[in-house]
Every structure is written in C-alpha cells, then in structure tokens.
Structure 1
C-alpha cells in the first residue's frame, strides 16, 4: 500500500505540475488578446480575473490530455533514474502493475476533463458571451444573425436572438410535405420561449395549395417545438461547442445547422474524449523501463512525447472526418484511442519481455 501511494504521489504531483504550467501558458496567451479590450471598457483587473475564471473550463479541457502525457513522462523517467523501477521489478512487481498504480491520477484528470467540458463549460460559455456582449461598445457590436437552421422537419430563419436564448427576432418558419414541397410559411417579428413552447407574436401564416395561396394574420400563436434556449445560444454563438446534451437534443429534432454526422460524432466524442488521458499515460509508460545509462532513455522520452502529439493530431483529424460524414462516427471517435492504446501496450509488452 505504501509503495502504491508513493508511485501515485509521484505521478499525481508531476501531472498537476504539468497541468499548472500548461494552464498558465494558455491563460497568458488568451489574456494577451483580450486584456487591452477589457481595460479599455473600464472593467479593470476584476474584469480580467472574471474573464479568466469563465474561460478556465475550456482551457482545462485543452490541457488535460497533454498534462497527463508530460506528467507521466516526468514521473516514470524519475522512477527509472532513481532505480525505483528496478527495485520494484526485483520484488516481483510487473510494469503493468506499476502503470496501474499511477492510473488513478490519469483517471482523476479524465473526470476533471469530462466535468469541465460537459457540465461547467456549457454553463459558463453563455455567461461569458452575454457579459462580453453587454460591455462591447455599440459601434463594435456585430450582428449575430441571420441564422438558418432545422427544427425537426421545419426550416427556420431568425435574424437575431436574445443572449439568454429565450427570444428570436424576425422569424420565418417553412414547412414542407413528405415530398419536400413548401406548404406553409409563418412570418413573425418575434418569438419568445414560454414554458415548453414558443409564442409567435403578430404571426402571418401563408399556406400554399397548388395555385392557391391563403394568408392569415394572428396576434399570437403557439409554435410547439423541441427547440430550447440552450439550442438557440449554441446556434447563435460565435464559437459553438456542442455538449453531449445539446448534441443529443439536436439528434432528437432540436435546432441543427449541421448534418447528423456532426452531432453523432460530438455526442460520442463527449464520452470518448476524456479517455485520451489514459491513452497518454500508456504512451508515457514505456519510459519507466528505459535504461537511462544509455541512449534508450532519451529515445523513449522523445518517442513518447512525439507519440502523444501525433495521437492528438490523428484524433482531431478522425473527428473532423467523422463530423463531415466521411467516416463512421464510431470509427472517428474510437479509432485514435484504440490504435494508439494498442501500440502503447505492445511497446510495454516488448520492453517488459
């Protein structure tokens, strides 16, 4: 038990240190772009700290896998240099068990990654967008529309949306029959979300039946729709990053402006992405069996770091192919982790043997 705590402590401390360094670098680079604007708007140091706090969940999502890779390389190389690995193997402890001792640190980072990406960031992103928009000078504000999207079988165009996603302006709804022909168009200057449905004010409904066109004006009508304010915020966001919940709603006829393959890949990736931390730990594990009295240690360190970076590139490339529909979403999401995980385990088996 004491040995397990020692190995876990070394791995956890190195991973946390790497995460802190990477987090600091990303925060500085991010703040370099916006600090001047924040100060010019009179928000002061408090505004800078507020922006940094709201951006932190997205930055943690970015640094989680690479921090496990860097921390794992440092931890295992330290254990190898101190001959701790040799002593443990002489005591009958296999390399696989050593990796398992360090695994809880990677699992903790994996859970932090998932929590930030799927729980915290979807809540902080709208707050940041609203805050930033509210303090943007009127002359610098950009219109966030019009945006075209699909809600079930309806095609919708909205000129703009409220920051909280509960109101749409200049809404046009197009309805089609089974053959794709336009049968109805609804024009409304505003739509507001009330409870479970949307209320369209001063709606003008135009129905098309062959050569006949009928127009009806109503002061207010109800638009039953699975569209929710969170979906509206994502559709009108400058940098949309669908969470698992929003991707699932999109696949269940929520508001979508992309093909189904995009949301399927995002939904699967929400659960598969955090496993990248475990893959990074496996890619760093062969360093534990390196002989640092020869060139083997430096070679394995370099190969481990390069393998982790290549994994990130390949995983991103496969995800992009999956989102475009070029390959299956399952292959896009799990292809990279399975391939690089298998390569890492194979390398560990060969070195152990």
Structure 2
C-alpha cells in the first residue's frame, strides 16, 4: 500500500508543480505589464519593475494556493484515470476510501506548505518588495515614507508617523495629547526621529507646543524621552498592509486596536482569512476527488482543468464578495472568512456521498 501512496502522491505533486509554474508565469506577466505604468519614476525602471514582481512571487503563490491545490489534484488524478491506473487499483481491491486516504496525505503536505508560505515567506517578501519599490521611486535609501502616514493611539495620545527608516525606526513623528475630561488638545509634539530605549523611546530634535488657558508655549528640545509610545513591532504593523502581516502580527495588532478602542474590522477579517486559508486548501483537495472518480476514463485533461478553473473563479468571486460586503455591512469577520470554505466543504461532502 505504501507503493500506491507514493505513486498517487508523485502524480499529484508533479501536476501541482506544473500547474503552479504555468499560473505563476501567467500572473507574473500580467503584474509586470501593470507595473510598467510606474516605470520611469525615480530610479524605478523596467528591470526594477520585473525584480519587484518577482519579489512578490511568494505573496502571489499564497493567494493562488487553493486554486493550485484544486487543479494539481484534479490533473494528477485525471492522468492516473486516463492511463487506466485508477481502474487497475480498484480491480486489485484497493477501496475508494484507501485512495482518498492517499490523496489526503499529499493534501496535508499542501496544507503545511500553504501555512509556511503564508506565515513566513509571503509577509517578509511583500514588505521587502514594497520597500524596494518605494526607495527606488523616492530616491531615499535610508528613509521610506508611508503613503498617507500611519496613525496610532495609545491611551490619550494620538500618534502620526510619516515614515520608517531602513532599520524600522520611525521618523517624522507627531504626537497630540488630549485631556481625558475636556477632550481638548493640551500638547503637540513633533520629532524628527524616535529611537527605542530599554523603557520607552528617545525623541530627537523635538518641537513641543503646550496649550493652556493662559496661551500657547512653544519650545525646542534636542532630546527627550517618551514612555507612552507603541512598540516598534506595532509601528511596523501599522505601517504595513494587513495582507502583508503574519497571523501572529495580525493577532497582536488586533489586540492593540481593541485595547485602545479602535475599529479593527479589516484587520480581523484578514486575520481570520489567513487562519482559514490552510483549511481551504484541504477542502479544495477533497473537492477534486469526486469529480475524477465520478467519470473515470470518460473525459480528457482539458475537461478537468476547465472544471477546476470554474470552481476556482467561483470561490474567488464569492470570497471577495463576502470580504468587501462584510466590511460595508459590518458582518462578523469570522463569518465572512469562513463561509466560502464551509460552503465548498458541504459541496465536497455531497459529491463524495454520490460515489461512495
């Protein structure tokens, strides 16, 4: 039986690799054409645009993983069916449950791979790619401005960060302090840079404005410490797109937003989507099984590729509809993230009942 496991796993694995190479090549070309519109800004040229697209490959791979798992499993099983090998297995007394177990093993490998790519490779490569592009376009190797800046809140302090240095330290920091009772601004700070200390931060080249009933007091300070300031990891999370954060980073940032009374729906939705993603890969592998065994040797590879493409497009459209619809109508983020996977899992179960 171990021989059958390896044989089925090898067929699905090679088919998945083949499908992955084709789809990644197609999407890299599409993304590269889209990036050409930004070529010519600063030092960002055609070659740099291609490098940027390649740097984002892990992120693209993570987004396509459910479809790749579905198509890879469909094509791998279809090849075995067309060559009569699945029928030979059945004739030798191998049950459908046993074959499904073999498929599930390679499915588990794909689930683990999707988790590794989504938790480590995709977030790091996505952030690095954005930094690479921004520095080339804006011509500053040491400081990267953030589009529209980053806003944070810590207790009664509202913080705006203009950008981050290459080492992740914030620059162009503005801090407004609001009175708890009157809700009026009592102090405004501007610091060119902020450096983390053992406890708190050290602000450099600070302009401080203090507002009171008697008027406004302005002073300049070369150095000053500031305790009520978010950690460097929170600053990095606030300056990064939700899709480019890992599950751990998203979880910490969502907790931070909740503790400060800040709406976190978009981050929660991304968090739950990333948590559900490995389950989606498993469901897609399971869904491929009944389509092949429902019509052994009666259809070509193109038939299964067409089925897989339709299912993948349908899943993507439903996922995006619930994602943006959830943000607009305030649906529970867990429901928005989980509903497409549950629906396709239900379809897979009903399809499996048809052949068992």
TM-score bin, normalised by smaller chain:
0.7 to 0.9
Cα pair distance change 1:93/1:262, threshold 3 Å: same
SS of structure 2 residue aligned to 1:206: strand
Aligned positions, number: 347
Per-residue CA deviation, residues 191-241 of structure 1 (Å, 9 max, x unaligned), is 413135332332415355xx5667474623333346344544454457863
Q: 1:234 to 1:175 in 2, by over 3 A?
A: same
Instruction: Choose 17-26 or 197-206, whichever is displaced more.
Output: 197-206
CA 60–295 in structure 1, closer or farther in 2 if over 3 Å, else same: closer
Once the two structures are superposed, the pairs formed by residues 223-234 of structure 1 within 5 Å of their partners are 223-225=226-228, 227-234=230-237
Q: Deviations over 1:77-118 (max 9, x none)?
A: 222223333333344433333232122333333323222222
Following TM superposition, by how much is the alpha carbon of 1:342 offset from its aligned partner in structure 2, in angstroms?
A: 1.7
Matched residue SS, 1:253: helix
Structure 2 residue runs without a partner (length 5+): none
Does residue 192 (structure 1) correspond to residue 194 (structure 2)? The answer is: yes
Q: What CA RMSD, in Å, does the superposition of the two structures yield over aligned residues?
A: 3.8
Q: What residue is the counterpart of 1:157 in the other structure?
A: 160
- Name the CA distance, whole Å, in 1 between partners of 2:190 and 2:330: 38
CA deviations 1:142-178 (Å, max 9, x no partner) are 963543523233322334443543122151323352x
- Kindly tell me: are residues 291 and 250 of structure 1, through their superposed partners in 2, closer, same or farther at Cα, counting changes over 3 Å? closer
Question: What is the aligned partner in structure 1 of residue 246 from structure 2?
Answer: 243
Matched, 1:72 2:73: yes
* 8 Å Cα contact 1:199-1:223 kept in structure 2: yes
> Is 1:289 aligned to 2:293, yes or no?
yes
Q: TM-score, normalised by structure 1?
A: 0.81
Aligned to 2:183: 181
Q: CA deviation at 1:344?
A: 0.7
CA distance in 2 between counterparts of 1:48 and 1:288 reads 41
Q: 1:274 to 1:226 in 2, by over 3 A?
A: farther
CA distance in 1: counterparts of 2:171 and 2:138, whole angstroms: 22
Corresponding position of 2:33: 32
What corresponds to 1:128 in structure 2?
129
Q: TM-score, with normalisation over the residues of structure 2? A: 0.80
1:94-133 correspondence runs (5 A): 94-133=95-134
Corresponding residue for residue 345 of structure 1 = 349
2: CA distance, partners of 1:342 / 1:122:
31
- Quickly say closer, same or farther: Cα 1:113–1:207, change in 2 above 3 A: farther
Q: Cα 1:243–1:151, aligned 2, differ >3 Å: closer, same or farther?
A: farther
When structure 1 is superposed on structure 2, of 28-37 and 121-130 the one drifting more is 28-37
In 1, the alpha carbon distance for the partners of 2:295 and 2:148 equals 61
2:81 and 2:136 mapped to 1: Cα distance? 53
Partner Cα distance (2:40, 2:3) in 1: 50
Report the equivalent of 1:81: 82
Distance 1:317 1:86 in 2: 40
